[in-house]
Homo-oligomer: A and B are copies of this chain.
Amino acid sequence: MLQVKDIPNAEIMQKFAARYPQTDIKSVITFLNLLRVGSDLSHGLNSYLAQFDLLQGRWWVLLLLMREDNLISTPSALAEKAGVSRATMTGLLDGLLREKLISRVHAKQDRRQIQIRLTSLGQAKLDEVMPGYYQRVNQLMQALTESETMHLMALLQKIYQQRHVFENKTVDIKNQ
């Protein structure tokens, strides 16, 4: 994701608003701040995970496996839950396999499927990573009081429900 370091100042926003009159400066600034906080937290998380030779993709796979009662899942299910394509999941699993954090076993009942299991090495890796992760998340969220946190969640929910506005193609009014 783009690292939105440099949110435009008022002067620059005015310049853009002059050329593009539909601009609502306050909306744009809020939007860019949301993007920036998200990307900064994401980069921060990555830099923490990198200390353990992990990045978000592979870490998330380990977590998804740990959620399962028997520590087993399949590539398609993992891809679906992680929100990546199955091809990408193949690559992530290759990496995890190289470090023996997971194992691949052919499924008996459906021979197209492969079972992915969290190994004890994989569990050990999570046991190394997670305490520091939780500690840092706590520290981060101590920026807000309990009621601020709840308020933030509510605001995020409202925005989240609108998240599809970008995905609609531009509509040509004449064709409606």
Within 8 A of B (CB), among A119-135: 127, 130-132, 134-135
Interface flag for A47 (CB, 8 Å) = yes
Interface flag for A173 (CB, 8 Å) = no
Q: Is the beta-carbon distance between B131 and A166 smaller than 8 angstroms?
A: no
Cβ–Cβ < 8 Å partners of A10 in chain B: none
Cβ–Cβ < 8 Å partners of A143 in chain B: 158-159, 161-162
Within 8 A of B (CB), among A25-59: 26-31, 33-42, 44-45, 47-48, 51, 56-57
Interface centre among A23, A37, A66, A132 (most CB of B within 10 A): A37
> Which DSSP category, helix, strand, loop or mixed, fits chain A's interface?
helix
Interchain CA distance A83-B5 in the complex, whole Å: 6
Interface residues of A (CB under 8 A from B): 1-6, 8, 12, 15-16, 19-20, 22-24, 26-31, 33-42, 44-45, 47-48, 51, 56-57, 60, 64, 66-67, 80-84, 127, 130-132, 134-144, 146, 148-149, 151-153, 155-167, 169-170
List 15 additional A-B contacts (Cβ < 8 Å) besides A1-B42, A24-B141, A30-B149.
A1-B39, A2-B42, A15-B67, A23-B134, A26-B141, A26-B146, A33-B153, A33-B160, A35-B38, A35-B41, A37-B159, A38-B41, A47-B167, A140-B162, A144-B155
Cβ–Cβ < 8 Å partners of A166 in chain B: 41, 44-45, 47-48, 136, 140
Interchain CA distance A57-B22 in the complex, whole Å: 23
Q: Given A12-B67, A22-B134, A136-B165: A2 and B56 within 8 A (CB)?
A: yes
Q: Is the beta-carbon distance between B38 and A169 smaller than 8 angstroms?
A: no
